[in-house]
Amino acid sequence: MKAGFRQSISRGIRFRCPKCGDGRVFSSFFKMRDECAVCGLSFYPESGYYAGAMYLDYGLSAAIFLAIFVPTLFMPDLTHLSYMTKNLLWIAFGTVVCLGMARPSYSLWLAVDYWIAPWNSEPVKKNDDTLELPLVSLVIRTDSDEPHQGTRNRWEN
């Protein structure tokens, strides 16, 4: 049965598989599994799949950063740090927030996308296969062109 939106979000926040809710999405802090160890759902349904998750990470991080940074502009300065030191500390803080939001962003991206358009559990495509695909299609096209030799000659003339 398809999970509801709230259940999907809950699975995403807990870094669990969007399909079964049991398998873990990450094998280490920043390393995603290729597929669910429980139900076999591929976590890489297509190449470049997580580009949107990077935007999500940026958006969430920027929102969190601004929600903390902007109020400090209206507070009295109690630190007495130099302007440069403060800037460097804010940059470091922003970097930490962005890295910290990477996991939730990737997991939520997977959860929401699976909720919108679920895909079937299939063997994960390795990078080698995607490299071979254009070559395969080229071969097929060349073969199918053979009977239409006259057509191709007409184009060349």
Instruction: Report how far apart, in Å, the C-alpha atoms of 69 and of each of 30, 56, 76 are.
Output: 26, 19, 13
Give the shortest CB-130-to-Zn ion separation in angstroms: 23
Span between the terminal Cα atoms of the chain, in Å: 59
Give the shortest CB-102-to-Zn ion separation in angstroms: 21
Task: Give 38 or 62: the residue with its C-beta nearer to Zn ion.
Answer: 38
Burial class (CB in 10 A: 0-12, 13-18, 19+), 21: middle
Mark the segment that binds Zn ion (CB under 5 A) among 41-49, 55-63, 71-79, 131-139: 41-49
110 near Zn ion, rule: CB under 5 A = no
Give the shortest CB-69-to-Zn ion separation in angstroms: 38
23 near Zn ion, rule: CB under 5 A = yes
32 near Zn ion, rule: CB under 5 A = no
Give the shortest CB-63-to-Zn ion separation in angstroms: 30
Out of 8, 19, 35, 115, the residue judged to bind Zn ion by CB under 5 A: 19
Contacts of 58 (CB under 8 A, 6+ apart): 98
Enumerate the β-bridge partners of residue 35.
42
CB atoms under 10 Å from CB of 81, counted, come to 12
Contacts of 3 (CB under 8 A, 6+ apart): 11, 18, 19, 21, 115
Angle at 109 between CA 108 and CA 110, to 5 degrees: 90
Mark the segment that binds Zn ion (CB under 5 A) among 30-38, 82-90, 100-108, 125-133: 30-38
Give the shortest CB-16-to-Zn ion separation in angstroms: 8
12 near Zn ion, rule: CB under 5 A = no
Q: Interface with Zn ion by CB under 5 A: which residues?
A: 17, 19-20, 23, 36, 38-39, 41
